[in-house]
């Protein structure tokens, strides 16, 4: 598809978006998302069905907004985001809604050894490397290859040596919205040198709506008998530990905030400032698409189910949100008013031989899928 055709499609979808009239009535301006960064043009795109609307920008491949109805049919925006590219560029939090890579989560001290060579990566999280580094995939302009009302496909070529990683990594990501109210994220990548790859999306959610108060009353279920305990810098200690009898037991749904009072007495909770841990998903077969868990907001009835082919999921409870960022509705992003559920391989996998492997070899294809499904709880 050539640039002119993409531009026409973009304008058509954005015309529909900007003239749409509904009760949520906050209108993003297409012009605020059109900018040239490193010689590449950013834009805003709309996916929609009869119930849900999803707005995506190719700057970082980000989910900007996701509107879904509550039990009364009232639309609400459940993804935190900003009203312009300039706001994303100046934000204190760099990961809102973004595609994360080349390696999501942390790599200890920014080092790993592969095929006898030690690689050094930029340090951007205390003493560790986080989410692909300061110029990770979240800060790149992705090339839009195809777009229509139900899907958008994007590509990014991460060059050999970028952020210290070996190999030219060709990455393709597709967002698809179906009539079952499922937002499917499909990832695919190839490389010309052996390299670690662990891709995910870093949307922050509040099912009551962006900046609508605490998420501690949200109900969370995770299909995980184990989690990976961490040290004080949030690097895994190399074991899978049972959640039984710990605040990390979400096998039966409970409110996110129920056990936060153990933060000062539970070492793991203390290290994370609450929840910021990888959960080992229960899988009958490796790489099967299975239900990782779900979240319900009891006030609105909105429910989000998460399905993934990945072996783990990082649950983050908004512990480091400090109000320094102001979202698209003019409200601050405050402490524990959002959560993230990032489908992934485990943190620091290149340095943890007991963890599932994330090394992609030349000639092999990296492929994985995850789904966010939206509904109203019974």
Which residues form the catalytic set? 202, 342
CB neighbour list of residue 232: distance below 8 Å, 6 or more residues apart: 271
- Strand partners of residue 359: 196
Question: How far apart are alpha carbons 158 and 207 in whole angstroms?
Answer: 34
What pairing do the DSSP bridges indicate for beta strands 200-202 and 98-100? Answer: antiparallel
Helices marked H in 234-274 — which ranges?
267-272
**For residue 199, which of 119, 291, 105 has the smallest C-alpha distance?**
105
Q: Residue 129 corresponds to which tokens in the numbers above?
A: 């490397």
Cβ atoms of 132 and 103 within 8 Å: the answer is: yes
Q: Which helix (H) or strand (E) holds 153?
A: strand 151-158
The residues that bridge with 192 in the sheet, in sequence order, are none
Phi/psi-derived region of residue 13, left when phi > 0, alpha when psi is between -120 and 50, beta in every other case: alpha
CA–CA separation, 51 and 68 (whole Å): 6
């Amino acid at each position: 598809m050539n640039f002119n055709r993409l531009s026409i499609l973009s304008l058509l979808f954005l015309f529909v978006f900007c003239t749409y009239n509904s009760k949520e009535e906050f209108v993003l301006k297409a012009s605020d998302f059109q900018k040239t960064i490193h010689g590449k043009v950013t834009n805003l795109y709309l996916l929609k069905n009869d119930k849900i609307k999803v707005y995506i920008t190719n700057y970082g491949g980000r989910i900007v907004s996701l509107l879904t109805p509550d039990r009364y049919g009232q639309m609400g925006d459940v993804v935190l985001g900003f009203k312009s590219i300039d706001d994303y560029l100046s934000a204190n939090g760099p990961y809102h809604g973004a595609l994360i890579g080349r390696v999501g989560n942390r790599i200890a001290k920014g080092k790993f050894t592969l095929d006898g060579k030690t690689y050094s990566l930029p340090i951007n999280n205390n003493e560790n490397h986080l989410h692909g580094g300061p110029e990770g995939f979240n800060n790149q302009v992705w090339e839009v290859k195809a777009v229509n009302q139900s899907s958008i496909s994007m590509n990014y070529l991460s060059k050999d040596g970028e952020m210290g990683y070996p190999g030219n990594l060709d990455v393709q990501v597709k967002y698809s919205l179906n009539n079952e109210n499922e937002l499917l994220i499909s990832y695919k990548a190839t490389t010309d040198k052996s390299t670690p790859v662990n891709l995910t999306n870093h949307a922050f959610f509040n099912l009551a709506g962006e900046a609508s108060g605490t998420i501690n009353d949200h109900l969370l279920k995770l299909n995980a008998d184990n989690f990976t305990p961490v040290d004080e810098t949030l690097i895994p200690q190399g074991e899978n530990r049972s959640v039984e009898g710990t605040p990390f037991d979400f096998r039966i749904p409970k409110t996110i905030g129920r056990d936060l009072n153990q933060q000062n007495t539970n070492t793991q909770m203390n290290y994370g400032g609450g929840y910021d841990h990888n959960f080992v998903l229960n899988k009958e077969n490796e790489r099967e698409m299975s239900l990782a868990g779900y979240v319900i907001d009891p006030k609105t009835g909105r429910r989000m189910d998460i399905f993934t082919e990945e072996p783990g999921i990082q649950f983050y409870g908004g512990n480091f949100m400090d109000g320094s960022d102001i979202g698209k509705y003019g409200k601050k992003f405050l402490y524990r008013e959002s959560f993230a559920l990032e489908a992934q391989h485990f943190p620091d996998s290149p340095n943890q031989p007991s963890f599932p492997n994330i090394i992609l070899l030349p000639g092999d294809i990296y492929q994985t899928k995850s789904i966010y499904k939206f509904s109203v709880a019974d």
